[in-house]
Amino acid sequence: MPGTERRNIDLGLEVEIVQKHHQRSGELTKGHVMKILTKSPKHPHGIKVMIDTGVVGRVKTILE
């Protein structure tokens, strides 16, 4: 499931994010959503979140 819509993302959900400095390489980081930082309902590059390790990035995939 893509992470471009805020309604698909809940706290505690396991996701893969891309950090700003990894956008070119596309390197993904896995973690559980601790905070949802994007206020708008949609974002074309993914909703910005903070995962449980304190890393901030945009959601690329929601793991089930």
The amino acid present at 16, given as its one-letter code, is: E
Enumerate domains of the chain plus CATH numbers: 6-62 (2.30.30)
Is 50:31 a contact under the CB 8 Å cutoff?
Answer: no
Euclidean distance between CA atoms 31 and 50, whole angstroms: 9
The amino acid at 63: L
Is the pLDDT score of 18 beyond 90? yes
3-state secondary structure of 32: strand
pLDDT at 1: 74
| pLDDT tens digits along 19-60 | 999 999 999 999 999 999 999 999 999 999 999 999 999 999
Q: What is the pLDDT of residue 24?
A: 94
CB 27 within 8 A of CB 18: yes
